A = this chain, B = another copy of it.
Amino acid sequence: MALIRNIHEETMNEVNMPGVSGAKMAIMVGREDKAPNFALRSFEVVAGGHTPKHSHDYEHEVYVVAGNGQVLLEGKMHDIREGDVLYVPANEEHQFTVDADSGESLRFLCVVPVEQNCGGPVPGS
């Protein structure tokens, strides 16, 4: 079934994973919506917060909606801002962080496959 949902109206849930601080997520389109190939999730990371520093066997495609932050990619930190699209290949270590003195949260979308490369669902897809 077709869907229209707004990221500013969906309830976001705290991300409870080791290495995460101050991050919330809402699945905008996912496996429960019968999305066959990929899921689109909405994230918010508050000032001073971060996602886990990790890697996995599937890629991310990310769009920065609002705010400023940094991303760890290929061993370096890069500033990110509204309008940025990021490609994080499979098995590439990455982490999103927001400065403690940032005046606003970082909002981004993150698209992932619904299945890991060796099968099984991608967490949060």
Residues of A at under 8 Å CB distance from B? 1-9, 28-29, 33-38, 40, 42, 58-59, 61, 63, 65, 71, 73-74, 78, 80-81, 83-90, 92, 94, 109, 111, 113
Cβ–Cβ < 8 Å partners of A59 in chain B: 35-37
CB distance from A25 to the nearest CB of B (A): 13
- The CA-CA distance from A82 to B84 in the complex, in Å, is 16
Contact in complex: A73, B28 (CB < 8 Å): no
CB distance from A28 to the nearest CB of B (A): 4
Query: In the complex, how many angstroms separate the beta carbon of A47 from the nearest chain B beta carbon?
Result: 21
B85 touches A2 (CB 8 A): no
Chain B residue with minimal CB distance to A36? Answer: B59
Complex interface: chain B residues within 8 A of A71 (CB): 4
Establish whether residues A28 and B92, one from each chain, have CB atoms under 8 Å apart when the complex forms.
no
Check if B40 sits within 8 Å of A111, measured CB to CB: yes
| Shortest Cβ distance from A79 into B: residue | B4
